Structures are given as structure tokens and as C-alpha cells.
Amino acid sequence: MIIGTLGPEGSYSEKAARQWDDKADLKFYDDIFDTVDALMRKEVDCSIVPIENSLEGSITLTLDLLMEHQLKITGEIIVRIKHCLLSKGKIEDIKVIMSHPQGLSQCRKFIKNNFKGIEIRSDLSTSHAAKLASESKEIAAIASGESARMYGLKILDENIQDVKENFTRFIVIGKTTPALTSNDKTSIIVYLEKNRPGALYEILGEFASRNIDLTKIESRPSKKALGDYVFYIDIKGHIEDKPIKETLSKIKSKVGMLKILGSYPAAK
């Protein structure tokens, strides 16, 4: 089993992959795009990428890739995120703070309160930022404690995200649909006809009338026009459940586009 994920070592994505399958071989990629591409080029058996953080919200690139390509979600993993401020030097030496944009956003207040006016650089991953921090005392990275050990950095501060309870949900993208369990989720993307008032209400009604529980609904730009959206919807249940099958076929007849991203066991 080869899993592709965001590297280098020490990333939260690595943590997610180990949590998913601690015996698998991991292959690390530079960014989410390459990680997903590796699966499409069959370099890996599945890929694990972040999709949503409890403070910052969706990882928009992941959502966009799910829209653009034929990908199947086969699982999800929830990882607790504890960001640390890492550096080779001391606090006074720091001239640049680097991290993945999500890391920077999740620690926005921390940076603003402690390092107002400092140079901020976004990097491809938190662990890559840690790797770069190991090359200069002037660079501090916002990354995991594991990254500190991995790249020989000091932990100058820990649990620095703006809200202590901080979780990221990762998805497993693979080839097969997992069999039905007692606790599944199904993810879909729906594009409604533009300018039809009440259309979203009607769609949600199909779920509500069958007591199907929505766990998430999120709008993203359709990229066609400002104010035109697609909806990413997660529901409880498996595509093989009769009510869900029924609902989705009903919805299909009412919308501009319905894309089924997959059914998979829900993370606890």
C-alpha cells in the first residue's frame, strides 16, 4: 500500500496518513495539486489531503480539485492541530515567519500580537517551512512539534493557534467505493440552475423529507460569475442506502449538475 501525501516529513498530512494506515509506505509531494496528480498518474494507491480546518474553514484547492477531476473520496481522518513556533535561534533573531497559508491564518492573532509588522512568507507546507527554518536563525516556522524534532529546531512557543481546539479533516482519495458500514457519510457537489429562487430549499427538502442528516453544506464560486455557486454537501449514510439512492436520483433531475464524490466510513 503506497499513500501519497503532502510533505516533507513532519507535516500534519503525514500524521493523517499514519493515523489512516501505519504500515503503508508514504510518498511525499510538494503540494496538494501534486499529491492528487500522483493518484491520477497511478504512482500511489491512494492520496490523503486536507479538506477542512475547524478555524479557517475549507482548503479551497482541495474542493476545486474534487470539482475538476474524477476523484473518489474513500475515507476521512481527523487530526488535532497544535501549531508551534519553531526556530534555530531565539525570539529576538526572528525576521521572517513562514508556514502554509492555513498555518498563518490559524495563528493570525498570535502573529499580530507578538510580531506586528514582521515579514510573513507562505510556504507549500508547514513542514517545508520548518525545513527552511533549519537553514537560518532569522526564519521561524509555524509547524508541528514533530517538525521541530525532524529538523533540529527549538520550540519557542506551542499551541499558538488563535483557538486552542483546532482540528483538520483530511480525506482519502482512492479508486474503490468502501462497502456499507453502520456509520457512513456521502459527499456530493450540486450545481443549481442560476437565478432560480428557492432551488436550494427544494434540494434540502429532498433530504429533510427522508430524514437524511446534512453534516455540511458549503458554497464555492462556480467560477462562471460572481454570485454563482456550487454547493458541497455531506450527508449521513451510504449511497447504497435506499433512501439516499432515491434522494440523489430525485435531486439529479432537478439540478444543473450532481457529482457524487463518494461514500465512506465517517471518522469518529
Among 25, 135, 193, 213, binds its own copies (CB under 8 A): 213
Counting contacts by CB under 8 A, is residue 56 touching its own copies? yes
In the complex with its own copies, the residue whose CB is nearer, 14 or 76, is 76
Q: How buried is 199 (Cβ within 10 angstroms: 0-12 exposed, 13-18 middle, 19+ buried)?
A: middle
Listed ranges 2-10, 15-23, 38-46, 120-128: which one lies at the site for its own copies (CB under 8 A): 120-128
Question: Amino acid identity, residue 117?
Answer: G
Q: Which residues pair with 50 in a beta bridge?
A: 170
Of the candidates 212, 258, 259, 261, which has an alpha carbon nearest to the alpha carbon of residue 237? 212
Q: Which residues pair with 48 in a beta bridge?
A: 5, 172
Counting contacts by CB under 8 A, is residue 108 touching its own copies? yes
Which x/- pattern over 191-210 shows residues binding its own copies (rule: CB under 8 A)?
Answer: ------xx-xx--xx-xx--
Q: Which three cell numbers stand for residue 47?
A: 492520496
Catalytic residue among 168, 186, 231, 247: 168
Counting contacts by CB under 8 A, is residue 215 touching its own copies? yes
Is 170 among the residues known to form the active site? yes
Among 226, 242, 253, 268, binds its own copies (CB under 8 A): 226
Buried b (16+ CB within 10 A) or exposed e, 72-82: bbbbbbebebe
Size of the site for its own copies (CB under 8 A): 49
Among 1, 2, 41, 60, binds its own copies (CB under 8 A): 60
Catalytic residue among 28, 110, 170, 231: 170
Among 225, 242, 253, 268, binds its own copies (CB under 8 A): 225
Measured from the Cβ of residue 223, the count of other Cβ atoms closer than 10 Å reads 12
User: What part of residues 167-186 is at the interface with its own copies (CB under 8 A)?
Assistant: 167, 169
- Rounded to a whole number of angstroms, the minimum distance from the CB of residue 141 to its own copies is 14
Which x/- pattern over 2-41 shows residues binding its own copies (rule: CB under 8 A)?
Answer: -------------------------------x--------
Phi, psi of 24 (to 5 degrees): -70, 155
SS3 3: strand
Measured from the Cβ of residue 99, the count of other Cβ atoms closer than 10 Å reads 29
Among 24, 40, 61, 260, binds its own copies (CB under 8 A): 61
- Rounded to a whole number of angstroms, the minimum distance from the CB of residue 113 to its own copies is 11
Cα separation, 240 vs 127, in Å, equals 39
Cα separation, 130 vs 152, in Å, equals 9
Pairing of strands 46-53, 167-174: antiparallel
Counting contacts by CB under 8 A, is residue 69 touching its own copies? no
Alpha helices of the chain — where are they, by DSSP H? Answer: 12-20, 32-40, 60-68, 101-106, 108-114, 126-133, 145-151, 199-208, 242-252
Q: Which residues are catalytic?
A: 168, 170
Residue numbers of the site for its own copies (CB under 8 A)?
33, 52-57, 60-61, 78, 101, 104-105, 108, 112, 120-124, 163, 165, 167, 169, 197-198, 200-201, 204-205, 207-208, 211-221, 223-227, 229
